[in-house]
Amino acid sequence: MSKLRFRVEKSSYYSGGKKENEEFTIYGYGDMLCSGVREDIEELYEQLTMALNDHKETKNEKAAK
């Protein structure tokens, strides 16, 4: 059985019967890596996706040459 590497905790905050804020905390190998509100984590997600896709494009570019 593999050891859990990453874990995400989500907290939601409500006021007046509606959700006001969401906060996410990301843990890696048992340590907190980062924490942020939804907008921050969405930006991080976009940057990670861009970096991972860039790696794939570089791999494909090398194969095409």
DSSP per position, the chain: -PPP-EEEEEEEEEETTEEEEEEEEEEETTEEEEEEEHHHHHHHHHHHHHHHHHHHHHHHHHHH-
Per-residue model confidence (pLDDT) at position 54: 85
Residue 38 contacts by C-beta under 8 Å, 6 or more apart in sequence?
21, 22, 23, 24
Q: What is the mean pLDDT of the chain?
A: 89
Query: What average pLDDT does the segment 2-28 reach?
Result: 94
Per-residue model confidence (pLDDT) at position 33: 97
* Domain membership flag for residue 1: no
* Domain membership flag for residue 39: yes
Per-residue model confidence (pLDDT) at position 6: 95
List the domain range (segments joined by +) for residue 41: 6-64
Check residues 58 and 44 and name the one with the higher pLDDT: 44
Number of domains in the chain: 1
* Domain membership flag for residue 35: yes
Provide, rounded to the nearest whole percent, the portion of the chain with pLDDT above 70: 80
Assess whether pLDDT exceeds 60 at residue 1.
Answer: no
